């Protein structure tokens, strides 16, 4: 790890560099909120954003994509033409960095996902520290995902003169042409950065879970009547998984196009909350009931994938799902229930 400072007056030169070399994705304002989008005009970038509607995962795993097009006469098939430049994701908050790392584990698990791997190839991930909690529903403190740097090639912390930049070992060379933008940090800047880190630790000191035992505690609630009660507040709408940085489930469907001359193999995000998600041949459904689907999502976030990938949890506590859910269902509440045996507030 090398420490650098990106002075305010060098930021626009650095953005120009990024745009020459990468397809730059960053947060911009949209419809009263913020979204990650490919940047045409650097002045639209909003590094002061609290959080985005969809997570940055969409850069590598788009909500809808064509994996393959098949010519129905020759039956030749080809993936869509590759993009000319890799993606640079700028301004990724710590929870989303942890989300991207989990996404990577799931998508690269053998057999790895070809389309994802190709979209992710050569990407530059630039993290951005959170000094304040982005929204009251966020529980990155409890999930211990509020600290960054891991998962980022560069990790920015805002300081008075610009940004403190932690450069991951091995990432220096992706900056070679932009080396002029960066300065070695001064002692004063170092003290400022240490102060900010202390502030961050204070801001995010409200842990409410014992992560070490969460995966086991949660599984013990499997037969509890808690889930049916919680499901009274659930629409089975899938909004929670749609906004989740760590949900990776998708559907694949062949669509005919151009008067049936081509068939496109289309992939789109799916959701385990939806009624048809676990429907199989013979009119069977593994999870026909709403509470079974809701329980599955919580188990998946707090236990199943945590165990599979040797993590404390898969959920990163980004707070998107509790903020979006009209029934105000939060994984934190389910996780807490498993550890405290609290009754559900309906």
Partner 1 sequence: MKKLRVAFYSFTSCEGCQLTLLECEDRLLDVLGAVEIVRFREASSYEGGEFDADADIAFVEGSISTVHDESAARTVRSRSKKLVAFGACADIGGVNAIKNREGVETARERVYGPAAAWIHSSAARPLSAVVPVDAALHGCPVDKDELIRFIFAAAVGAKLPDPAAPVCFECKLRQTACVFQKGEVCLGPITRGGCKAICPAFGSGCDGCRGLAPDANLLLMRRLLKERGLDGSDLARRVDLFNAAALTEDQRRELIGHA
Q: Which residues bind partner 1 (CB under 8 A)?
A: 30-33, 35, 53-54, 63-64, 232-239, 242-243, 253, 255-261, 269, 271, 274-276, 290, 324, 326-327
- Return the half-sphere exposure (C-beta side, CA atoms, 13 A cut-off) of residue 166: 17
The option from ligand SF4, partner 1, none interacting with 92 (CB < 5 to 8 A, set by class) reads: none
Q: Is 50 in the site for ligand SF4 (CB under 6 A)?
A: no
Interaction with ligand SF4 in 211-270: which residues (CB under 6 A)?
A: 234-240, 243-246
Give least dist CB 213 to ligand SF4, A. 18
- DSSP strand pairing (124-128 vs 87-92): parallel
The option from partner 1, ligand SF4, none interacting with 105 (CB < 5 to 8 A, set by class) reads: none
Helix or strand holding residue 307 (H, E): helix 305-308
Among 42, 50, 185, 327, binds ligand SF4 (CB under 6 A): 327
The option from ligand SF4, partner 1, none interacting with 18 (CB < 5 to 8 A, set by class) reads: none
Q: Is 302 in the site for ligand SF4 (CB under 6 A)?
A: no
Among 227, 291, 320, 335, binds ligand SF4 (CB under 6 A): 320
Distance, CA of 37 to CA of 49 (rounded, Å): 13
Considering the complex, state which of residue 27 and residue 319 has its C-beta at the smaller distance from ligand SF4. 319
Among 123, 248, 325, 334, binds ligand SF4 (CB under 6 A): 325
Distances (CA, A) of 308 to 149, 216, 334: 24, 13, 20
Distances (CA, A) of 310 to 11, 102, 150, 262: 38, 11, 16, 43
The option from partner 1, ligand SF4, none interacting with 252 (CB < 5 to 8 A, set by class) reads: none
Among 301, 303, 306, 335, binds ligand SF4 (CB under 6 A): 301
Query: Please, are residues 153 and 123 in contact by the beta-carbon 8 Å criterion?
Result: no
Distance, CA of 299 to CA of 220 (rounded, Å): 10
The option from ligand SF4, partner 1, none interacting with 342 (CB < 5 to 8 A, set by class) reads: none
3-state secondary structure of 139: coil
Which residue is listed with tokens 């999930």?
143
Give least dist CB 160 to partner 1, A. 33
The option from partner 1, ligand SF4, none interacting with 321 (CB < 5 to 8 A, set by class) reads: ligand SF4
Q: Is 321 in the site for ligand SF4 (CB under 6 A)?
A: yes
The option from partner 1, ligand SF4, none interacting with 101 (CB < 5 to 8 A, set by class) reads: none
Considering the complex, state which of residue 86 and residue 327 has its C-beta at the smaller distance from partner 1. 327
**Chain CA centroid to CA 56, Å:** 6
Distance, CA of 103 to CA of 100 (rounded, Å): 5
Considering the complex, state which of residue 271 and residue 338 has its C-beta at the smaller distance from partner 1. 271
Cα three-residue angle 136-138-140, rounded to 5 degrees = 140
List beta partners, residue 127: 92, 155
The option from partner 1, ligand SF4, none interacting with 215 (CB < 5 to 8 A, set by class) reads: none
Number of continuous H segments (helices) and E segments (strands) in the chain: 12, 13
The option from ligand SF4, partner 1, none interacting with 269 (CB < 5 to 8 A, set by class) reads: partner 1
DSSP state of 39: -
> Residue 119: what are its φ and ψ, rounded to 5°?
-70, -30
Considering the complex, state which of residue 54 and residue 196 has its C-beta at the smaller distance from ligand SF4. 54
Distances (CA, A) of 202 to 50, 147, 150, 196: 18, 12, 20, 10
Interaction with ligand SF4 in 24-43: which residues (CB under 6 A)?
A: none
Distance, CA of 309 to CA of 322 (rounded, Å): 24
The residues binding ligand SF4 (CB under 6 A) are 234-240, 243-246, 273, 294, 301, 315-321, 324-327, 329, 331
């Amino acid at each position: 790890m090398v420490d650098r400072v990106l002075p305010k007056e060098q930021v626009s030169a650095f953005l120009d560099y990024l745009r020459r070399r990468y397809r730059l994705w960053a947060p911009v304002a949209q419809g009263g909120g913020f979204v990650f989008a490919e940047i045409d005009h650097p002045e639209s970038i909003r590094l002061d954003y609290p959080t985005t509607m969809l997570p940055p995962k969409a850069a590598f795993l788009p909500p809808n994509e064509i994996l393959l097009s098949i010519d129905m006469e020759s039956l030749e098939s080809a993936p869509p033409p590759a993009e000319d430049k890799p993606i640079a994701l700028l301004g990724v908050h710590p929870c989303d960095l942890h989300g991207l790392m989990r996404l990577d584990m799931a998508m690269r698990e053998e057999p790895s996902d070809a389309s994802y791997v190709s979209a992710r190839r050569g990407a530059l991930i630039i993290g951005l520290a959170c000094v304040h909690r982005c929204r009251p529903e966020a529980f990155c403190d409890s999930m211990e995902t509020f600290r960054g740097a891991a998962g980022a090639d560069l990790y920015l912390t805002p300081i008075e003169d610009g940004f403190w930049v932690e450069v991951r070992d091995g990432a220096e060379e992706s900056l070679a042409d932009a080396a002029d933008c960066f300065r070695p940090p001064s002692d004063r800047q170092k003290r400022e950065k240490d102060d900010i880190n202390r502030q961050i630790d204070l801001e995010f000191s409200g842990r409410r879970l014992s992560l070490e035992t969460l995966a086991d505690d949660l599984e013990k609630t499997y037969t509890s009547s808690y889930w049916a009660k919680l499901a009274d507040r659930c629409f089975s709408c899938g909004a929670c998984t749609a906004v989740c940085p760590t949900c990776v489930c998708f559907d694949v469907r062949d669509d005919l196009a151009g008067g049936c001359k081509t068939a496109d193999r289309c992939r789109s995000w799916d959701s385990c909350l939806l009624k048809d998600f676990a429907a199989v041949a013979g009119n069977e459904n593994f999870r026909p009931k709403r509470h079974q689907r809701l329980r599955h999502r919580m188990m998946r976030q707090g236990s199943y994938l945590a165990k599979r990938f040797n993590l404390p949890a898969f959920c990163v506590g980004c707070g998107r799902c509790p903020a979006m859910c009209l029934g105000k269902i939060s994984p934190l509440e389910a996780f807490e229930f498993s550890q405290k045996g609290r009754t559900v507030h309906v």
